[in-house]
């Protein structure tokens, strides 16, 4: 058990059509996922902590403009970018930020909240200012903008919809990472720009502990999809509850929530989860989910569609 470590990542779930992924685009997504796996997996292989591993993986994905977090985040209906992130560990520590607009890596701000304040969640301009006071990298709004994301906003406004990342022409997504380290500790990190054409000020499930992000002594979870449904279902915490109170296995609990509880709450999406034994589950109820998995003694793997 002490030699066991596991890292799982996701880059969002949605309608990822095979016929719209050119070989070049598909290769780029796999490369982005592989880079994140390598960043986090190298820490775990060297005996580092689950917390540091998920931070490294999440930061790598935030820096990649292919995914909806950090650079490349979605636009609100007002044409602004508002980002959310959360970090939680099996030691009961947690930090989150919501509605931030200037922090290069929101997941690092979530850790700063966890490590440097008695609070769990900071919001808006105050969270930006706090991150700057902690020496985190701050960027002008133009850093986060990509032309693909702006085109996605225009498409959503023309269709008069608020849409998941992968249900519009620019197919990119919310990111997350979960890990179990050699010492048995678990951690979960999630970061997102939210839904395209969302109302300014909207907060989704990502920074809400128990909804989009959760970690305890039994399991670590990061979710992606229709945030309102994940919140109504208390999706991430429900997986832990099913395991602890109903005796469900990790896979059974994760599939129950992703494939049944979330749709019953009016949404869809997927999630990644790792339990205390190092088992992993990556279920999704959409056409695809950008994802990756790396366990000790195995080769790292990335995937987009089922199968």
Q: Which residue in 240, 236, 208 sits closest to 95, CA to CA?
A: 208
Q: Which residue in 31, 233, 194, 193 sits closest to 221, CA to CA?
A: 233
In sequence order, what are the beta bridge partners of 281?
Answer: 273
Catalytic residue among 59, 174, 192, 213: 174
174 tagged catalytic: yes
> Which residues are known catalytic residues?
174
């Amino acid at each position: 058990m002490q030699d066991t470590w596991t890292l799982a990542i996701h880059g969002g779930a949605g309608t990822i059509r095979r016929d719209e992924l050119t070989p070049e685009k598909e290769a780029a997504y796999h490369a982005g996922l592989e880079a994140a796996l390598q960043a986090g997996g190298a820490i775990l292989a060297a005996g580092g902590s689950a917390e540091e591993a998920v931070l490294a993986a999440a930061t790598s994905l935030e820096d990649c403009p292919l995914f909806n977090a950090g650079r490349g985040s979605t636009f609100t209906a007002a044409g602004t970018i508002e980002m959310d992130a959360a970090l939680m560990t099996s030691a009961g520590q947690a930090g989150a930020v919501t509605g931030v607009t200037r922090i290069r890596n929101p997941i690092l701000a979530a850790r700063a909240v966890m490590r440097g304040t008695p609070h769990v969640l900071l919001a808006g301009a105050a969270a930006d200012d706090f991150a700057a006071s902690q020496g985190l990298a701050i960027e002008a709004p133009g850093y986060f903008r990509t032309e693909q994301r702006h085109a996605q906003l225009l498409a959503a406004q023309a269709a008069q919809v608020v849409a998941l990342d992968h249900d519009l022409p620019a197919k990119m997504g919310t990111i997350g990472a979960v890990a179990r380290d050699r010492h048995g500790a678990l951690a979960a990190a999630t970061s997102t720009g939210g839904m395209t054409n969302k109302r300014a000020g909207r907060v989704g499930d990502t920074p809400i502990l128990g909804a989009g992000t959760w970690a305890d002594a039994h399991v670590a979870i990061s979710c992606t999809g229709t945030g309102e449904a994940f919140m109504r279902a208390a999706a991430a915490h429900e997986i832990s509850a099913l395991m602890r109170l109903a005796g469900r296995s990790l896979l059974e609990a994760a599939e129950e929530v992703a494939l049944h509880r979330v749709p019953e709450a009016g949404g869809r999406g997927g999630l990644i989860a790792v339990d205390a034994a190092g088992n992993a589950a990556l279920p999704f109820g959409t056409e695809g989910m950008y994802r990756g998995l790396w366990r000790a003694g195995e080769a790292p793997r990335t995937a987009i569609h089922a199968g």
